[in-house]
Each structure stands twice: as C-alpha cells, then as structure tokens.
C-alpha cells in the first residue's frame, strides 16, 4: 500500500505504521527474545511478551495501549542489559543497552504522535546500535587494539549525538547521524571478522557476504543522510531503507541460520538457495534507490516489490528448511532408538 499498489486496506493507518511495527514489533520482539534466552532468567521473557502484545494491540487498532506496551517492552529490554552489565561489565553490552534506550525513545515518539524523521531516526538508533554492539562482542576474538575501540566509541558517539540533536532540530541532527553511520560502517568494514571469513565456504561465507553487503548499505545510508539532511521526498525513502532493508535485513538474513536454532531450538541448516533471497533483496534495493535518485516511480515501485518478495521468500525458505530438518532429526532419533543407524541429511 505504501508503494501505491491497489491492495485492500485492512485499517486506515496500518500502512503508515509499518515502520515501527517492523522495527519494534517484528525485529524488537525477536531481539528481546534472543536476549531473554541469553539471560536465562524468567523475568527477562516479559520483554518479548510485552512487545508481542503491544504489536498485536497496534495491529488491532488499539494505538494507545499498544504504544504503551511497546514503551514498557523497551524499558524491560533496557533492564536486561543493565542486569548483564552488573554481572559482567562490557562495552558491547553498554552499546546494545543504548540501543534499547533508543527503542524507548522511538516508541515514546510514536505514542505521542510524533512520526516522521525523528521517530524513524530513533528506530534506526535501536537497530544500528544493537547490531554494532553484537559485532563488537564478536570482535573480542580478534583481540582489538585500544585504538580500534576508541574509533568505535567515536563513531558511535557521533551517531548518538545526532539522535539527540534530531529531537530539537532534525535539520541539524540528520547530517550528524549520517556522519555517525558512515563512521560505524567504516569501522565494521575494517575490523569485523567478515573480511576474513568471506574467503571460506558454506554457511560461513554466506554469513560474511551478508554482513559485508550490509556494511556497504550502511555506508550508503551515511552518505545519503549527510547529503540530503532532513529533507523528505525521494531522498527520505532512500535514507530509511538503506538502513532498514540494506543493513538490517542483511543482518537478519545472514544470522537466521544461527539465531533461529539458538532461540527456538529448531534446526535451520544452510542451503545454497539462501543466496536467492539475498540477491533479490540487494537487486531490489539498488533498483529502489535508483528510482529515488532519478525520481522514477516505476523503478522505485519495482524495487519495493522485489524487497517484499525477498522478505517473504526468506520466511518461506527458512520455515520449509527448518521443518524438513526437524522432521529428519526426529525420524533419525526414532530410528536410532529402534536399533538402526539414522540417516543424516546432506
């Protein structure tokens, strides 16, 4: 509907709410569930539960209760990170905690009826800081030098400063946000292990390719934010979707074979068909951005449709792969208990 396609409208404001519902409802629930599983304390599951209920309420048209539930979910996620920091202080945990605070800010802006660029910026703050914190956590295995940590803090600090400035003045804050995004993209491209693991094979190469493509889109987002500032129109679409689709969905596609099993306890083995939805995502986004740059409604709409296809295909392929692998595992266990030798899937 946001692409201007003639689809039946379920609820008047539903299409306009798809940004916070995707960032907080879908991704926020998944991220908070992942953190609750890692915390291994029952109260932590209140975060994804509250987020899920808030999303459901918003979908049903109960905007105020849904908005409050999403604010509370952000507070609960922040509490999870505070608890982890008290148990084991670490920079990456503090960065992800800052992302959870950005969730609270975005949800509060949405609840107060302040949509547009400020809210979208804080949604981006939640997801960008969460992902960067996770990648910083994994960088411990590479033994980062002090100078590298200082550079990360500098880039993250500029990005955070931009978030704060957008509240009173989006025109001043947007270029600062862009500089922070570009700095984070440069840091990830330089120090992330994906630079080396992309030379391997199988799932490791697949994940690394998704990560590096995401970093390229994050850099493109930084340049776009710096060049266009707080302007709306065609550049507004490019500013948002280079982050939410190019960067964030690349991370989702790349990490799904690892995150889904750890959170849901189901098998998601690597398959070469995964490259298909990744390719469609990036081709579609490139087409969409070209449509933005040339003010071509046809290119913009075609790219948007490809992006939707890539996400739907990702969900379908992941579900089918997981279901088949789980059935094969269950069948193998039954066969093993009966005294036979279980077959393994290739």
Closest CA to 105 of 130, 132, 74: 74
CB atoms within 10 A of CB 19: 20
Measured CA to CA, the distance from residue 125 to residue 98 in angstroms comes to 9
Model-level pTM? 0.89
Compare 5 and 183 and report the one with higher pLDDT.
Answer: 183
What DSSP state is assigned to residue 62? -
Burial classification of residue 265, based on how many CB atoms lie within 10 Å of its CB (0-12 exposed, 13-18 middle, 19 or more buried): exposed
Measured CA to CA, the distance from residue 187 to residue 135 in angstroms comes to 11
Give mean pLDDT, residues 302-309: 96
**Residue found by looking up tokens 């449509």 in the block:** 291
Percent of the chain with pLDDT over 70: 93
**Across all residues in the chain, what is the average pLDDT?**
89
pLDDT score recorded for residue 5: 82
Kindly tell me if the per-residue pLDDT of 345 is higher than 50. no
Q: Over 148-169, what HEC string results?
A: HHHHHHHHHHHHHHHHHHHCCC
Measured CA to CA, the distance from residue 262 to residue 149 in angstroms comes to 28
Kindly tell me if the per-residue pLDDT of 28 is higher than 70. yes
Kindly tell me if the per-residue pLDDT of 33 is higher than 90. yes
Which parts of the chain are beta strand (E)?
none
């Amino acid at each position: 509907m946001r692409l201007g396609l003639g689809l039946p409208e379920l609820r008047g404001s539903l299409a306009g709410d798809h940004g916070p519902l995707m960032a907080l409802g879908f991704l926020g629930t998944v991220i908070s569930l992942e953190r609750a599983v890692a915390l291994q304390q029952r109260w932590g599951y209140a975060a994804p539960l509250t987020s899920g209920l808030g999303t459901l309420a918003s979908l049903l048209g109960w905007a105020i209760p849904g908005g409050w539930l999403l604010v509370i979910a952000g507070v609960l996620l922040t509490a999870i990170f505070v608890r982890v920091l008290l148990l084991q202080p670490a920079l990456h945990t503090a960065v992800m905690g800052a992302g959870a605070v950005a969730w609270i800010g975005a949800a509060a802006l949405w609840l107060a009826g302040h949509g547009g660029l400020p809210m979208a910026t804080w949604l981006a703050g939640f997801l960008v800081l969460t992902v960067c914190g996770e990648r910083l956590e994994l960088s411990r295995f590479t033994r980062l030098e002090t100078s590298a940590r200082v550079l990360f803090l500098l880039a993250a600090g500029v990005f955070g400063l931009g978030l704060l400035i957008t509240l009173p003045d989006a025109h001043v804050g947007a270029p600062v946000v862009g500089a922070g995004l570009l700095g984070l993209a440069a840091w990830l491209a330089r120090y992330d292990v994906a630079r080396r693991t992309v030379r391997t094979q199988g799932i490791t190469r697949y994940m690394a390719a998704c990560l590096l493509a995401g970093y390229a889109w994050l850099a493109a987002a930084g340049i776009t934010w710096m060049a266009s500032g707080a302007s709306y129109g065609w550049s507004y679409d490019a500013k948002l979707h280079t982050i939410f689709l190019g960067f964030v969905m690349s991370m989702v596609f790349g990490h799904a074979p690892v995150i889904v099993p750890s959170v849901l306890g189901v098998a998601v083995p690597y398959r070469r068909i995964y490259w298909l939805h990744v390719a469609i995502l990036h081709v579609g986004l490139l087409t969409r951005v070209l449509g933005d740059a040339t003010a071509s409604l046809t290119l913009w709409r075609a790219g948007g449709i490809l992006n939707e296809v890539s996400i739907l295909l990702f969900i379908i392929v992941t579900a089918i792969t997981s279901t088949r692998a789980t059935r094969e595992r269950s069948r193998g266990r039954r066969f093993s208990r009966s005294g036979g030798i279980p077959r393994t899937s290739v």
